[in-house]
């Protein structure tokens, strides 16, 4: 029966793919086609609340005109260890829901524009970095249409001038939701962008920071899941602290949680959570001004507040020294809340057959923070500078694939991530939609090499220091970080000169 439902879902999605992505309606929207004429589907550009079935969600069109690219070869180089999430790794349906959806989406784009896909195995992260460098320096035109791989290694190649400025891609519409605004801010400098994190793949969604909670444990503690509070934009760290205090069960009062005896923490997290947690609290060492230029921005007062509230939260929980014990605790009914990523929910938590879980966004630190932020990690992608003469075809294909991924693949990721059917998890789907659009990568991590090292760039406050040691920690690094920001701006401005030499 389950297999039948999956097949039926795919058939519905496939029918919608071919009906929705083309330029099928006569009424134009405000998007301009590459030849300057107005084009589009005439469908609403406004996203509505999530529906229970991904095939019924309102489609957001790409506004591209149909074109014949005469079997243009779109070649993606990727790292197998990180996966290829742009097009399917398969040449036919396999029964894997996500891969089959990718296959249908990429097939629809291929038919629409008459293109051929090629996949190039780039090897490991550093191998891919080296292969892209060799390709550009050899002047080999159009060898790769795009590469996708390790985040700051991709940035490192961009600083050498190996990637085209994506803001010059004539088919890109950065107002579309598959270009998350906070991600654009995390990769651009001075309104130029040589690498991107976007929904041409579903990778951003997999790295998003999120809270999973045990629904039965929530009910057993006579607590009401704060969905309404979340959707009213009124979910703060102090609220999570209160829930964690109510959720902790230290039955004998000895201050030690014995999960085997039925006791449980209110909140658990792993050692690798620091960076994403900081970004979700909007405590960042590097900000952006109105001209999209980076500057030193660490707000010491808010950093103190964050550390204080995190310490308070952990009074009812635990941050494990490794990055796996928190999952074992949650799996064994040992925690109400788990700080994790959607990737690890997909890989691990969804296999816990004895737990019905729900999702909440990472709360806002305080009322200074206006919106939720899903601190995240991601693979980055770029278009090699040597393919610039095919940038129209490449940007069109990427934009069309992005439309497909956002509208179909991400909801399919929801379907495989949630234990229950989407129709039984409407609040959780709405949370996932919220998280999807709140994803933010840390700028200072991506450009960490240029900023003097990742520990300086990220200022991993929860992991490396306490509130008492914060002043000395930051003081020892702030001057170097400020100097290196100036150097980064200068190096970024020289990228175009570097490219003129290739």
For the stretch 240-280, pLDDT in tens is: 999 999 999 998 888 899 999 999 999 999 987 666 788 89
Radius of gyration of the CA atoms of the chain, in A: 23
- Residue 340: the pLDDT is 94
**pLDDT recorded at residue 424:** 82
Task: Say what the pLDDT of residue 311 is.
Answer: 87
Confidence of residue 457 (pLDDT cuts 50, 70, 90): low
pLDDT score of 276: 76
Fold of 209-375+441-496: D-Maltodextrin-Binding Protein; domain 2 (3.40.190)
pLDDT for position 207: 87
Q: How far apart are CA 284 and CA 278, in angstroms?
A: 7
What three-state secondary structure class fits 229? helix
Q: What is the model's pLDDT at position 44? A: 33
- What pLDDT band is residue 49 in, cutting at 50, 70 and 90? very low
Within 8 A by CB and 6+ apart from 457, the residues are: 285, 286, 444, 445, 447, 448, 451, 481
Of 138-152, 307-321, 459-473, minimum mean pLDDT range: 459-473
Q: Helices 97-113 & 391-404, crossing angle to 10 degrees? A: 140
Q: Which residue has the tokens 């693979």?
A: 379
pLDDT in tens, 374-397: 998 889 999 999 999 999 999 999
Q: State how far the alpha carbon of 3 is from the alpha carbons of 7, 9, 10, 276, in Å.
A: 6, 10, 11, 36
Computed over every residue of the chain, the mean pLDDT equals 86
Instruction: Locate the domains of the chain by residue range.
Output: 7-23+53-206+377-417, 209-375+441-496
Q: CB-hemisphere CA count at 13 Å for 321?
A: 0
Q: What DSSP character marks residue 9?
A: H
Q: Of residues 11 and 105, which shows the higher confidence score? A: 105
Whether 7-23+53-206+377-417 and 209-375+441-496 share one fold: the answer is yes
SS3 483: helix
Average pLDDT over residues 220-245: 97
The pLDDT-based confidence of 448 (bands split at 50, 70, 90) is confident
Residue range 167-182: mean pLDDT, rounded: 96
Q: How many whole angstroms separate alpha carbon 411 and alpha carbon 491?
A: 39
| Confidence band for 30, pLDDT divided at 50, 70 and 90 | very low
* Residue 351: pLDDT band with limits 50, 70, 90: very high
* CATH code, residues 7-23+53-206+377-417: 3.40.190.10
d(CA 178, CA 104): 18
Q: Going by C-beta distance under 8 Å and a sequence separation of 6 or more, which residues neighbour residue 76?
A: 84, 86, 87, 117, 118, 119, 120, 144, 145, 146, 147, 148
State the Cα–Cα distance between residues 96 and 4, nearest whole angstrom.
13
Residue 328: closest CA among 343, 348, 347: 348
Give the span between the Cα atoms of 417 and 350, in whole angstroms: 6
C-alpha to C-alpha distance for 1 and 7, rounded to whole angstroms: 10
Q: What is the pLDDT of residue 7?
A: 37
């Amino acid at each position: 029966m389950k297999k039948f439902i999956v097949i039926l879902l795919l058939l519905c999605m496939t029918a919608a793919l071919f009906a929705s992505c083309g330029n099928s309606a006569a009424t134009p929207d405000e998007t301009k086609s590459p030849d300057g004429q107005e084009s589009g589907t005439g469908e609403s550009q406004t996203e509505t609340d999530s529906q229970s079935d991904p095939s019924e969600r309102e489609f957001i069109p790409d506004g591209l005109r149909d074109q014949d690219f005469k079997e243009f070869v779109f070649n993606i180089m990727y790292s197998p260890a990180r996966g290829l999430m742009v097009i399917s790794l398969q040449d036919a349906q396999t029964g894997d829901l996500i891969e089959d959806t990718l296959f249908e989406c990429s097939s629809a784009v291929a038919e629409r524009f008459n293109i051929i896909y090629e996949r190039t195995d780039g090897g490991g992260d550093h191998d891919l970095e080296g292969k892209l460098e060799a390709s550009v320096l050899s002047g080999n035109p159009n060898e790769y249409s795009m590469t996708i791989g390790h985040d700051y290694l991709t940035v490192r190649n961009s600083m050498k001038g190996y990637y085209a400025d994506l803001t010059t891609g004539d088919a890109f519409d950065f107002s579309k939701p598959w270009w998350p605004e906070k991600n654009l801010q995390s990769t651009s400098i001075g309104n130029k962008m040589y690498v991107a994190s976007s929904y041409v793949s579903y990778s951003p969604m997999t790295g998003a920071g999120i809270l999973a909670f045990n629904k039965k444990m929530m009910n057993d503690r006579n607590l009401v899941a704060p969905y309404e509070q979340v959707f009213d934009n009124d979910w703060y760290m102090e609220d999570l602290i209160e829930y964690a205090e109510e959720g902790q069960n230290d039955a004998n009062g000895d201050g030690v949680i014995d999960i085997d005896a039925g006791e449980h923490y209110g909140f658990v997290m792993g050692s690798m959570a620091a960076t994403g947690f900081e970004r979700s609290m909007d405590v960042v060492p590097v900000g952006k001004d109105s001209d999209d230029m980076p500057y030193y921005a660490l707000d010491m007062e808010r950093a103190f507040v964050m550390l204080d509230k995190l310490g308070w939260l952990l009074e009812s929980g635990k941050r494990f020294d490794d990055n796996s014990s928190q999952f074992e605790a949650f799996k064994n009914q040992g925690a109400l809340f788990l700080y994790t990523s959607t990737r690890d929910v997909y890989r691990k938590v969804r296999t816990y057959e004895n737990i019905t879980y729900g999702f909440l966004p990472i709360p806002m630190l305080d009322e200074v923070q206006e919106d939720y932020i899903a601190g995240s990690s991601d693979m980055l992608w770029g278009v090699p500078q040597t393919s610039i003469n095919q940038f129209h075809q490449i940007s069109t294909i990427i934009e069309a694939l992005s439309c497909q991924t956002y509208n179909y693949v991400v909801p399919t990721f929801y379907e495989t991530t949630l234990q229950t059917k989407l129709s039984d998890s409407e609040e959780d789907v709405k949370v996932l939609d919220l998280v999807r659009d709140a994803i933010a990568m840390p700028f200072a991590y991506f450009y960490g090499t240029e900023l003097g090292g990742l520990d300086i760039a990220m200022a991993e406050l929860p992991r490396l220091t306490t509130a008492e040691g914060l002043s000395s920690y930051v003081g020892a690094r702030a001057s170097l970080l400020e100097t290196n920001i100036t150097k980064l701006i200068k190096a970024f401005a020289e990228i175009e000169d570097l490219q003129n030499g290739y």
